[in-house]
Amino acid sequence: MMMTPKLTRMMLSAHVATSVGCIGAVAAYLILSIVGLNGIEPANARIIYGAMELIGWYVVTPLCIAALVTGLIQSFTTKWGLFRYYWIVAKLVLTIFTIAVLLRTLDHASQTLAMSVLHVDHLLELRPHLIVHASAGLAVLTAITALSIYKPWGMTPFGRRK
């Protein structure tokens, strides 16, 4: 089923908005994790990591899932298809991988934050971990964006048969 041109543009706009929003939210998450690394007071650390938890669960996660869903809708309803081009397959794999790592990291961060109410030392173990994951996430999201722009590698064997 193909979408009308107007609906296609609307879906593309939603996909770009959620994708760019996800990049921005991960960048904010990274900045907070860097600030949290710099030896701040325990009470402030809890506030910063609490804000990171909220951004992660209620901004980054929904935006990443929305980007995945809008991308899937586009792939099924436009000429691009889901498995016709290598760059789309790569975006799909990277997006699913990113969401899986995100959910695992956020779950670990939430548990650590909950434990830090009793022992601030738990936050110290989390600090470098969050920076590495946020930096890697930002790099992967940037790579996904680049794939959308450059569209490398051509068609898959499945795409050539169609």
- Which residues have C-beta within 8 Å of that of residue 136, sequence separation ≥ 6? 101
pLDDT in the model for residue 41: 74
All structural domains of the chain with their residue ranges? 5-161
pTM over 0.85: yes
Domain at 5-161: CATH code:
1.20.120
Distance CA 148, CA 129 (A): 29
Distance CA 9, CA 94 (A): 24
pLDDT in the model for residue 150: 95
Spacing of C-alpha 97 from chain mean position: 9
Reference 50, options 3, 118, 110, 128; nearest CA is 110
pLDDT digits (tens, 9 = 90+) for 33-77: 888 777 667 777 778 888 988 999 999 999 999 999 999 999 999
Residue 157 has pLDDT above 70, yes or no: yes
> Using an 8 Å Cβ cutoff, are 37 and 131 in contact?
yes
pLDDT digits (tens, 9 = 90+) for 98-107: 999 999 988 8
Reference 52, options 69, 72, 37; nearest CA is 37
> Using an 8 Å Cβ cutoff, are 46 and 116 in contact?
yes
4 conformational bin, left if phi > 0, alpha if psi -120 to 50, beta if neither: beta
